[in-house]
Amino acid sequence: MKLEEHTAFSAAISGGLYSVTRSWELAFACLMSGIFIDLDHIIDYLIEYGWPFNVKKFFRVCYEGRLQKAILILHGWEWVCFLFIFAWLTGWDPWITGVLIGFSHHIVLDSFSNGVHQWSYFLLWRWKNNFVHKASFPGFAPQQKSER
């Protein structure tokens, strides 16, 4: 899913959370984590393409699934499980719960929009596949090119 779509969904979900809970911490943490979980794409891009960092090339490579390796360290249901336990242990701290909701909805949206395998967003599955993009994300549907 594209950055602008994640931003729109995160804003809508965070706005809904704020309207129900009146917790700006929960809403802000959800908004930020729902968008910026995608920063892990930069790490994968830099490992494969190195410097200098070219923003246009970065988005083209990511949207078209042209990376050989997909570590995507933050895109993992394992983090959601960890965050759920951590949120529960802290009495549903709004910051941690917000990050939990942000990570959760981001991964759900990626799973549905990218047309990938049911296990693709598990770090252990990608590790089993040696983080090879084609093996980890069979059926990946490249995003349509931006009209800009």
Rg (CA), the chain: 16
Task: Tell the smallest beta-carbon distance from residue 43 to Zn ion (Å).
Answer: 13
For residues 116 and 139, give the distance between their C-alpha atoms in angstroms, rounded to a whole number: 5
Contact between 142 and 64 (Cβ < 8 Å): yes
Q: Does 44 bind Zn ion (CB under 5 A)?
A: no
CA 129 – CA 37 distance, rounded (Å)? 22
**Do residues 114 and 137 lie in contact, with contact meaning Cβ atoms separated by under 8 Å?**
yes
Cβ closest to Zn ion, residue 72 vs residue 96: 72
Phi-psi region of 91 (alpha: psi -120 to 50; beta: other; left: phi over 0): left
Question: In this complex, which beta carbon is closest to Zn ion, that of residue 7 or of residue 90?
Answer: 7
Residue among 38 and 44 whose Cβ is closer to Zn ion: 38
38 contacts Zn ion (rule: CB under 5 A): yes
> Minimum distance between the CB of residue 110 and Zn ion, rounded to whole angstroms?
4
Binders of Zn ion among 98-137, rule CB under 5 A? Answer: 110
Q: Name which of 10 and 94 has its Cβ closer to Zn ion.
A: 10
Residues that bind Zn ion (CB under 5 A): 38, 110
